[in-house]
Structure 1
Amino acid sequence: YYSTPAKQDAMYKITQELLQFELIRPSYSPYAAPALLVAKHDGTWRMVVDYKKLNNITIKDNHPLPNMEQTIQVLGNGYQ
């Protein structure tokens, strides 16, 4: 994606702040997703990540964890 120098500078600052607060960490994965900046109504930037391509190659879990409400319905009166 194309980005202006001002957006690149803002992205760097946001990334450094997220690293400092340990909300993100460096990744050594062979997979990645592009991060973009979207302007908020107050003029500041919001970082968003486009996971569409990564989600398309993700292998679905054949044995997902059951939904709590469904489990309670199956258990019926055995759940108190």
Structure 2
Amino acid sequence: MMIANATDFQNNFGRYLQAVQEGEEVIILKNGKETARLISHEKSVEFLSQQLRGILKNDRDEKAIREERLKKYEDPD
């Protein structure tokens, strides 16, 4: 993992892009705080797929979800 401040990242974008293409992760800081994380497309797809699998594994009660959504449209009377 590489860490760069925003100015250094801007001035050396090519170097950081190359690192990401080689599998590195780049964290970009602005005023000492993490503001962005640059990862390869492959890693982002993998991350999102893992997150989706986690969501789909959870047991859901479709009836309860539907009732909760319908409550928004009920009259308060």
TM-score using structure 1 length: 0.31
Name whichever structure is richer in helix by fraction.
Answer: 2
Name whichever structure is richer in strand by fraction.
Answer: 2
TM-score using structure 2 length: 0.32
